[in-house]
Amino acid sequence: MSQQAPSGWFPDPFGRHEHRYWDGSQWTEHVGSQGRQLVDPPVVAPPTPVALQVAQQTAVIQPIAPSAPVNKKVQRQVRKLGVADMARTGGGTLLTEQILVVNQKAKLFEKRAEYAVFDQHGRKVGGVRQFGSSMSRMAVGRDNETKRFQIVDREGRPLMTLTRPATMLKSKVVVMREDGAFVGQIVQENFGVMASVLGGRFNIRFRIESDGETLGTISAESWRAWDFSIQDPRGAEIGRITKTWAGFGKENFTKADNYVLEMYRQLEDPLLSLVVSAALVVDTVLKQGSSDQRSR
């Protein structure tokens, strides 16, 4: 691979997957196929000189660029927030982009939430759709009832299912792959009660876990729970979820919110899937609270 080629996602020179991540000096174990990110170490013999030459030319001249149309409103969101970063451009899929923009579809009378997800260039890479109904509504109310969401790629193919069981106090979101395999869960650790009075010490916080292991935390940066810091178990920040202005109509007459997810480095599963899932349902985890919580 040419030393001049920047890091990024390119056609897999080993031919086993659609894309493989080049870190600027070597091919890594991170691969992608059909919108899913996997791990497959390049342990086989290196590609032939011809294949390597093609990969070099592709990396330098034709980096992966999805053909989806761009959303100019999303581009303005990213520019205004100042997070656009070409070095963090991925392979054009929900689980290969390090910057994702989550826009909730505005509805005056919302029964089922819907979200569109874009990369930093405004190209759609996926979506989220709420489905099913819950028998728990009569007991705990609409906001606290069991909620189920399906995460899909840009072609509408299912990737993951998210379930938030009925709750009265703390929330929990269980994340499963489309084949039913358990990924992990996002668990609320505190209530965020009196956080504004106590100087942020008890801002709402969530734990990211899988198979009994804590992989990180998601902590609100103020009592209003607009922006969140994503940290690894050692407390190092690895990403952020930031609420952006949705527009006068959305902010004042609907529950629709817009968020931007930034990941500072390429994460591995299951942490990657759980961080993306958290960003896509942050409103649901917070139960879409009162207007003074949401307005900005």
- Give all domains of the chain, ordered by start, each with its CATH number: 8-61 (no CATH), 72-294 (3.20.90)
Beta bridge partners of 165: none
- Residue that is written with structure tokens 């070099």 in the block: 56
| Interval 199-205 mean pLDDT | 68
Say whether 234 sits in a helix, a strand or coil. Answer: coil
Residue 153 burial (CB count, 10 A): 19
At residue 168, the pLDDT reads 66
Note the pLDDT tens digit of each residue in 70-110: 888 888 888 888 887 777 777 788 998 999 999 887 554 45
In whole angstroms, give the CA distance from residue 9 to residue 31. Answer: 8
| Interval 255-269 mean pLDDT | 85
The radius of gyration of the chain from alpha carbons, rounded to an integer in Å, stands at 20
* Cis peptide leading into residue 270 (ω within 30°): yes
Say whether 115 sits in a helix, a strand or coil. Answer: strand
Mean of all residue pLDDT scores within the chain: 75
Q: Beta-strand (E) ranges in 40-193?
A: 99-104, 114-119, 124-131, 147-153, 158-164, 172-177, 182-188
Confidence of residue 228 (pLDDT cuts 50, 70, 90): very high
pLDDT at 124 over 80: yes
Task: Give the sign of the dihedral formed by CA 59, CA 270, CA 219, CA 110.
Answer: positive
- Identify which has the larger pLDDT, 56 or 280: 280
Say whether 240 sits in a helix, a strand or coil. Answer: strand
In whole angstroms, give the CA distance from residue 122 to residue 77. Answer: 9
Angle in degrees, CA 87, 91, 96, rounded to 5: 85
In whole angstroms, give the CA distance from residue 197 to residue 227. Answer: 18
End-to-end C-alpha distance for the chain, whole angstroms: 47
Confidence of residue 193 (pLDDT cuts 50, 70, 90): low
- For residues 161 and 141, the answer to whether their CB atoms sit within 8 Å is no
Give the Å distances, CA to CA, from 285 to 61, 143, 152.
42, 10, 19
At residue 60, the pLDDT reads 40
pTM over 0.75: no
Q: What length does the chain have?
A: 296
- For residues 246 and 283, the answer to whether their CB atoms sit within 8 Å is no
